[in-house]
Structure formats: structure tokens, C-alpha cells
Structure 1
């Protein structure tokens, strides 16, 4: 009996230590730092809720192990993060909170972006530079075992999961004009959505995909219905163009607003695509080093800008409000190329009520139609999917309709006079 209690206490302390470690980087913003091509200098930075920054968190979490060469992108799904290393030809899988490595996929060729659907990991690959060999690789999400490759006709970039399907931006360096739609059950391309030339980037709002096409004659934003996989609206602007042939416009979204960054200016338009103004939200002061808005994202009503001048060993990250006032400035490692909100709170799920701060509760959980929050009328809420994307927000009044969202796990943030709480729930 004595040994039982001794072992029990040891296990309890070990679990407590694990919980503290796993929560270390799970309530703030993640910065992906690309690193210099040809060297294993890719890294991750973490900005916490109090605006404190920690650099090299992968290095710190993994016994000084180098992450790799060119961190192209990151993706969150459940309790895992997927780190896509373009020049290292691998995807590193870590715990989403602690960033402790749990595995890696290595049989890749210049991977770009990744997503998870139907228990599988889908990753875009450029393939051999000297051959037409671009593809989407498919691996088992549980075992990381290789399943198959899906050939593509052009070099791919972003890949996203929406409405039970996988969508591939098939236009590297604005050289293409189409999006392939993949059935994640059969691992086959089921349709192709054709847009105008110069497809730059795609982003998701709810169940709609928005695509930005740019070139010397202007920019066009398309809205794509993912039920029919057709264009439902589009709007053009003849004056917003890429800074140069090789410099891109950057595309991001939050709530019902789309954001475009180019050179030193940030533009916005509503997702209804009613107007596309040439007047920027704000214009920044050029750094003088180039690489302005190399990294760009709109998160929590703020604009994150990564100035990456690769001759320097560091990058400057500026955080702006909607009028262009700098709220914070941070220094990260080299090549800050993107920003992600990482809010992950493991929680027990109940079919009845999940209590928050002993004063309010969400129910039912899981939910299929309307989610209720007891004692929260008038509080602000945000519903966030597990990739960190805000899919619904507003002021709570007598229920939130969630039947228009995809089935799966979500996080709800509730902010009111007497409450500040984050909780996990399931849409079934």
C-alpha cells in the first residue's frame, strides 16, 4: 500500500509537470520564422497574452534540436501542430501546446502547406524542380504512414479543408489560375475551379473560400461556394497590384473582413464583395531594407507585419491597430513569414453543461443546432476552429446558431464584465 501511494504521488507530480509544460505556448500568437535557405535556421517564436516574446521555442522544447531548413508554413489540428519544412523535405509533428516533437514525415519533395481531413494528412509538394512532378502527398494522421500521391498539373501552394473537401491553390508565383477539389475519402480530384490568371492566395471565411488573383492590370477577389464549388461573386480593382514581378500581395481574413497587404499599404474589403476601395486602411513607413509585409496576418482586430531582410539574423514584427498605429514591436529570428493564433485548452466534454467560472455554462455539448450560454447575455463571443480561424463572433443573446458550421471540435471565447473564459465544444 505504501508503494502504491508513493507511485501514485510520483505519477500525479509527473502529470502536473506535463500539464504545465503543455500549456506553455497555447494562449497567444505563434510566429513562424523561415530561416535562411540552405541552413537549419528555421524556428518558432511565441508572443503571450502579456506581449512577452519567447524565441526559439522548438529548440527549447526539443533538447536543442534544430527544426530544419525553411519553415514554409504551419497548421494546427486538434492537439497537434504540423511544421512544413520546405528545404528539409519534411513535416515535423509536435504537440500543439508544448511544441515537443512527436514524429515527422520525410518522404516529401519541397513541401509547401498541409491540412488534415478524414484522418489523413494532405501536403502540397512542388516535386523535382527539373521535372513536371508536383503532387499532393497523403499520409495517415495517426501513424504518419504513406498512403498515396495525387498528381497535379501545376505547382501548388495553400491547401485547406472546407465543407468536408480539400482545396488546393494550384498557382505558384501567380503562374496558374485554378483550384483543385479533392475528395478526402477516395484521394482523387473531383473538380477544378477556374479563375482569372495570377492566382495569388486563398483564405477561408465560414464555408466560403476567397481567392485573390493579381497582376500588372490589377487584382480580383473571388468568392467560392464550397457546396457547389462554383464562383458566387467577384470584384476587381485596377490599381492594387503586386509591388513587383516577384513580390506578392499578401491575403488574410478575420470575421467578415478580407485584408490585402502590398509594398507598405494594407487594404480591406467586406466578404460581401460590394466594394473594393483603392484607399488603404493605412500605410506604413518603409523599412528601407525590403521585405516589408513578408509576413502578414489579421488576428484579433490587429494587423501583424513581418519585415524580413534575410541579410540580418533577425526579423522585426510590428503589430498595428486598424488605423495603422503601432501597438507593439518584437524581434524574432530570421524570416518571419506568418502568424497564427494558438488557443488550445483541453477540456472534458459533456452532453449536458460545461461550467465556466462557476457562474455561466455552455450547453448542449456536443451540439448540432443552437449553442446556449447560461448567464452570458450581452457578453462578446468568438468561435474558433482548431486551425485558429475565427468562424463566428458577436454579442451573445439567447443562443448561437452553429448548424451552418462544419462538424468537429471548436473553441469558444467568452468575454464579459465578470467573465473571461475559453472552452472547447463539439458540433455533431
Structure 2
């Protein structure tokens, strides 16, 4: 009789352990993080993109991915400055989503090495917290002349939204280059600017990021453009 009771108890414990091990869990992982510009400059806009995947075995709820700048590669959500965020939609197991957003580098950073840190806000069901963060090293190497830098802030383009030709309303020369990025951070085209015009007629409708740079003028700016 005692032997039968002991056998039943062991069987019950085994069933409970098996049940606890089979409880579905979420596991959000961030990877393939990119930035449009490096080195960076104070007060400049740069594009950040990444992919988030649910490698768990149950669906996740929508959450946020926060973007910080830090003087070291260890995130402190209380001390490091939060630059922007975007919403990560609910994901089924093995589903992923890619997104991009602009961040503005703080005006008071000092010369040296910095880090852009992407951090998925964890959920209580996330089984692995070690893959929720990814770090992108960046460098600020130049001392910017204030007068030249203010010209960067006055960079403007029109029309936006655009159908075919995008015009640049600022002083540039033939050495000025532009790069067009898709919303997921892929480089589509890179070339020199001719007559202050960028041709966008061949692009599909959607959102793009255009980086305009000129080393001699210390010009480096990224602008969000809508193609219609």
C-alpha cells in the first residue's frame, strides 16, 4: 500500500514538472542594428534601424524598443539619455519585424567614443533577458565650428512629400553627396548632387531617409522624406 502511494506521489511530481517545463514562453531578440552615420556630430540627426524577432514558443504582446546614448557600453536607464523609441508590434513565434527611426545626437556630447544602445522593454514572460539589448559603438572626432554647424540646421528640402524631383534649399557644391535609405535601413542609392536636385521618380511610394553630407562644409544631415 505504501509503495503504491509513493509511486503515485512520484508520478504526480513528474507530471507537474513536465507541465511546468512545457509552459510556453516569449523570447524577444534584437539584432541587425545599423546607423546611417558614423562618426557622428552633436545636434545631427541619424537614422537607427534594427530587427526584432520572437524566438520563443508563444506570441508576444506589443512593446517598445527604446534607444539610448551612453558613454559606456552598459545601459543605465536612469542615467543614460533616451533619444527615441518605436513600437514593436505583437509577434507570433519565429515572426520578426524591422523598423527605423531618427535620433538626434545631444548637443553637449564630448569628443571621444560613445554608444547607441537599443533596448527592448521586457515583459514578465520573456524567458531570456540577455538578448533584449544591442550596442552600436559610435565616435565623435571633430570639433565643430559653431557658425558652420548652424548652417547644417538650416538645411531644407522641398517638396516633401515628393513625386519626382527633390530640391535642396541651401548652399552646397559639387562635392556634396546624398544617400537614400529605405525605411528598414537599406542603402538604395548614393551619388553626388547635381544642380541641387535629387531624382526620386524611380522609387516606389513610401518613406525614405536621405543623408546629405559634405566633409569640406562639415555638412551631415539626415531628413525623412515621403515619396508619393
Same fold (TM over 0.5): no
The TM-score with structure 2 as length reference comes to 0.43
The TM-score with structure 1 as length reference comes to 0.25
Which has more radius of gyration?
2
